[in-house]
Amino acid sequence: MRILVTGGCGFIGSAVVRRLIARSDHRVINVDRMSYAASEEALEAAADHPRHLLIRADVADGAAMREIFATHRPEAVMHLAAETHVDRSIDGPAPFIHSNIVGTFTLLEAARAHWAALPAGERTAFRFHHISTDEVFGALGPTDPPFTETTPYDPRSPYSASKAASDHLVRAWFHTYGLPTIVSNTTNNYGPWQFPEKLVPLITLNALEGKPLPVYGDGSNTRDWLFVEDHAEALVGVLERGAPGATYAIGARQPRSNLAVVQAICDLLDELAPDPAGGRRRLIRFVADRPGHDFRYEIDPARSEAALGWRAAHDFTAGLRRTIAWYLDHRPWWEGVRAARYDGQRLGGGGGR
């Protein structure tokens, strides 16, 4: 297939592009406006591959999207382009409305016009896969069952509200216009190439440099953690085997409190890169909680696992070890990012697109 991937230079998007180029014969049209969190380096060998084309464009630019569809005639869309950092959405929600809501609407309209003009067989085969988050479901209590595909929406932050709105748009275009759309919702992602403002790289890099390790509240807020390459595998499965109109909840069955994640990072770094000054747990600092901080997210992926024949390959310990080893081996990349685009002071916002 010719697959249009939006946000393909982002954290999850680049993992999807790498997976498509390395392990399929699909062609990838990668559309990314190259915002602060995008990295062309994250494409690795896919960057210069003949089946990959990078186009710098904003999904909210209707003229650009219509031209891309007319020129490249994609047979499927994987829509990952989004603003994802919760703290940034609290500080300034406007970019989240622009990218996540207006951008999704604009892309849907360009896709609908393209799809409507296709021959009947190609219309039937076309797919629009929208990648979303479990944060649209709101917060779980300590004993609540995990989210599923049928959990009611209850977003609590500007970020999650913007993603909820985009999910609703995608489903409306399926029911109203017949556009073959699919939605997937996922948990916190982590792994190589994640922008350093997110929790796992932020704590890893601060700990390496002997800086304080900030933890919101008492650290008991809990998330389900999914290794990014496992997520990319699931997303390709959704595109290739998913049913139009369906929703797929993708998780790893690996819940951890924020404090447990920070402590695990400290302990692995103490093993892989010992600090003469002592164990890294000494650097943990509890700070004032952020507004509207959801207590717990967790997904029950049973339905998706059965439908896709997929299950996360990495448990949290194995995935975290791979991630920390990657950051240890790629110091020039993250030092360059910190010097140019991010000072390391903003708290981590969990997983991200």
Output the CA angle 28-33-35, nearest 5 degrees.
Answer: 125
Residue 137 vs residues 132, 235, 298: alpha-carbon distances, Å: 11, 20, 10
Catalytic residue among 32, 58, 83, 159: 159
**DSSP characters over 223-266:** EEEEEHHHHHHHHHHHHHHPPTT-EEEE--S-EEEHHHHHHHHH
- Chain centre to alpha carbon of residue 346: 19
Find out whether 147 and 187 touch, Cβ atoms under 8 Å.
Answer: no
Catalytic residue among 83, 134, 167, 230: 134
**DSSP characters over 80-143:** ------HHHHHH--HHHIIIIIIHHHHHHHHHHHHHHTS-HHHHHH-EEEEEEEGGGG----TT
> Is 87 in the active site?
no
- Chain centre to alpha carbon of residue 60: 19
> Is 134 in the active site?
yes
Pairing assessment for the beta strands 188-190 and 127-133 based on DSSP bridges: unpaired
Find out whether 149 and 119 touch, Cβ atoms under 8 Å.
Answer: no
Taking the CB of residue 68, how many other CB atoms lie within 10 A of it?
A: 23
Token duo for residue 104: 């999704």
> Is 209 in the active site?
no
Catalytic residue among 32, 58, 135, 298: 135
- Secondary structure of residue 189 in the 3-state scheme: strand
* Catalytic residue positions, numbered: 134-135, 159
